[in-house]
Amino acid sequence: MPDAIDIEALLRSALVPVEPSDGLSDRLERGLSDLTDMAADELADWELSAMRDPRNWARPAAAVVVGSTAAGALVLVRARQQHKKRQITGVRALERGIRDVADDLQKRLGR
């Protein structure tokens, strides 16, 4: 090291921002898909008769929120990868499906 070192300049040169790999977006996408699937399962398993009991409302309502948020974000994450347009179409369909279920559920709950 030289006698007089510009430590801040060296730190700027050493700690350069690091670009994530292309594979990371795919991994994020898969994680979000898992979240979405979990939320959809919650809804699928939910008996309509349970709606009469307000104690049962919290879990499916949370599933709707998680599912919709994850699915929406998932669409836009995928939008970054323009070479995978077929997948985008599939996820948008999934997102629409979840939103339809959510809207239906909200109507049933008499919002």
Partner 1 sequence: MPLETADKRRLDSDFTEVYRTHLRDVYSYAYYRIGNHHDAEDLTEQTFLQAYRHFDRAQRESNGRPLRPWLIRIAHNLAANYYRDRSRRPQTQLEDASVVSAPHDTEELVEGRQELREVLEGVSKLPDDRREALIMRFALDMDNREIARALGRTEGATKVLIHRAIKQLEQGLGEEPDA
Note the residues at the interface with partner 1 (CB under 8 A): 1, 5, 7-8, 10-21, 23-24, 27-28, 31-32, 35, 61, 64-66, 68-70, 72-73, 75-77, 80, 99, 102-103, 105-106, 111
Instruction: Name the minimum Å distance from CB 36 to partner 1.
Output: 10
Rounded to 10°, the helix 22-45/85-108 angle is: 30
Helices (H) and strands (E) in the chain, counts: 4, 0
Instruction: Name the minimum Å distance from CB 5 to partner 1.
Output: 6
Query: CB-based contacts of 106: which residues, under 8 Å, 6+ apart?
Result: 64
Closer to partner 1 by Cβ: residue 50 or 66: 66
Instruction: Name the minimum Å distance from CB 10 to partner 1.
Output: 5
Closer to partner 1 by Cβ: residue 7 or 53: 7
Instruction: Name the minimum Å distance from CB 60 to partner 1.
Output: 9
| 51 and 68 Cβ atoms separated by less than 8 Å | no
Q: Kindly report the number of other CB atoms within 10 A of residue 93's CB atom.
A: 10
